[in-house]
Amino acid sequence: MSTITNKLLPIFHREGIGVSMILILLFLFLSVSSPYFLTAENLSNLLLQSVFILIVAFGTMFVLTMGGIDLSVGSILGLCGGVSGWLMVHGTNMWLAILAGLALGTLIGLFNGIIITRLRISPFLATFAMLYIARGLLFLLTSKEPIRNFASQEFKFIAQGYVLGIPSPVWIALIIFLLCYFLFSFTKFGRFVVAVGSNKEAAHLSGISTNNINIRVYALSGLLAAASGIMLTSRLTSVQPLMGTNYELDAISAAVIGGTSMFGGKGSVVGVAVGSTILALISNGLDLLSVNQFYRLIITGLIILIAVGAERMTSSRAD
């Protein structure tokens, strides 16, 4: 019990101090600036806004911590959600369609990991190519037209239902958060991911199968992207050809804002949750304040820079 406590304490005392301050300041600013911010409807929408990026960002955090990068997650999200929707349109059982989507995402992630490790193609180029391949397959699947009229009430409940007054996607995200936190903080796999990202050569010499870790991490990233895609399909009750576009950039932003290093060796599941919430707060706040579209990207970029800078400063002082 004391071991678990010792591992949990850093969450509150050392991890994410700077970025948590930015989150609190944003929350307070929006609470004062808009009378609609603290309404139950808006807070529910805020949670929903963060969920889909959050799940993708968990996988991205593992990849970045290992020292890699995955630019294909947005397209994997769209393709896997599309495949599940397409299968249901053609009469496939909902659960089988969902399993097929999850399996496809995992297989694409496995393929990414294999070509990176076996063919020694850089993660950037390999996943960048997969971004186009998966997006192209989704365009073929949809024939450039949305897929509709497949969502049963049971399927809609995945992303539109409520459990104990809380949106069901939030519960799903919480379960995934707990699983990812356990996997990253309390298993050999999590320790090996950090070791490979810190020093790949040293990890190899210590007996860690670095190729195996790479493949498993990319498979996990593909699985989580697929899960988010299926949830988004349930939310939209349709499959759009451009569904998931730019999610890879948002996922990387959420992970980096939360303290994950782009150079490997450092990651935080809790930080990813905070980073995703900050991105959702920015988007939600700009909508509530009716900020001109021309200024939105500038403001978003500046807040991300401030959040990352604050996190780096507090982390360096803690070290």
Quick check: 183 pLDDT over 60?
Answer: yes
Q: Amino acid letter at 37?
A: F
With 80 as the cut, is the pLDDT of residue 316 above it? no
CATH architecture group of domain 15-314 = Orthogonal Bundle (1.10)
> Of 79-88, 112-121, 294-303, which range is least confident?
294-303
Q: What is the pLDDT of residue 11?
A: 43
Quick one: pLDDT at residue 312?
67
Residues 49-64 have a mean pLDDT of 95
Question: What average pLDDT does the structure give for the chain?
Answer: 88
| Local confidence band at 314 (pLDDT 50, 70, 90 cut-offs) | low
Integer Cα distance of 319 and 313 in angstroms: 10
pLDDT: which is higher, 313 or 147: 147
Exposed, middle or buried: residue 302 (CB in 10 Å: 0-12, 13-18, 19+)?
exposed
Residue 157: phi and psi, rounded to 5, are -60, -30
Query: How sure is the predictor about 68, in pLDDT bands with cuts at 50, 70 and 90?
Result: very high
State the pLDDT confidence band at 226, using cuts at 50, 70 and 90: very high
Contact 278, 257 (CB under 8 A): yes
**Contact (Cβ atoms closer than 8 angstroms) between residue 109 and residue 89:** no
Report residue 151's pLDDT band, with 50, 70 and 90 as the boundaries.
confident
φ/ψ bin of 66: left (φ > 0), alpha (ψ from -120 to 50), beta (otherwise):
alpha
Among 253, 243, 240, residue whose Cα is nearest residue 300 = 253
Q: Supply the pLDDT for residue 3.
A: 47
Question: So what's the pLDDT on residue 83?
Answer: 96
pLDDT at residue number 286: 87
Q: Which of 4-18, 22-36, 207-221 is the most confident on average?
A: 207-221
Q: What is the pLDDT of residues 118-146, one digit of tens each?
A: 999 999 999 999 999 999 999 999 886 78
| 319, pLDDT greater than 60 | no
Confidence category of residue 10, pLDDT binned at 50, 70, 90: very low
- Average pLDDT score over residue span 222-243: 95
Name the region of 151 (left: φ>0; alpha: ψ -120 to 50; beta: rest).
beta
Q: How far is CA 170 from CA 46, 71, 250, 317, in A?
A: 11, 25, 18, 34
Q: What is the mean pLDDT of residues 152-171?
A: 92
For residue 189, what pLDDT is reported? Answer: 96
- Taking residue 249's Cβ as centre, other Cβ atoms within 10 Å add up to 13
Q: What is the per-residue pLDDT across 257-268, written as a single tens digit (0 to 9) for each? A: 888 988 888 899
Minimum mean pLDDT range among 47-56, 95-104, 138-147, 172-181: 138-147
Answer whether residue 13 shows pLDDT above 60: no
- Counting residues of the chain whose pLDDT is more than 90, the rounded percentage is 62
| SS3 sequence of the chain | CHHHHHHHHHHHHCCCHHHHHHHHHHHHHHHHHCCCCCCHHHHHHHHHHHHHHHHHHHHHHHHHHCCCCCCCHHHHHHHHHHHHHHHHHCCCCHHHHHHHHHHHHHHHHHHHHHHHHHCCCCHHHHHHHHHHHHHHHHHHHHCCCCECCCCCHHHHHHHHCEECCEEHHHHHHHHHHHHHHHHHHHCHHHHHHHHHHHCHHHHHHCCCCHHHHHHHHHHHHHHHHHHHHHHHHHHHCCECCCCCCCHHHHHHHHHHHCCCCCCCCCCCHHHHHHHHHHHHHHHHHHHHCCCCHHHHHHHHHHHHHHHHHHHHHHHHHHC
At residue 193, what is the residue type? V
What global pTM score does this model have? Answer: 0.89
Condensed to tens digits (0 to 9), the pLDDT of residues 239-289 reads 989 999 999 999 999 999 888 988 888 899 999 999 999 999 988 888 888
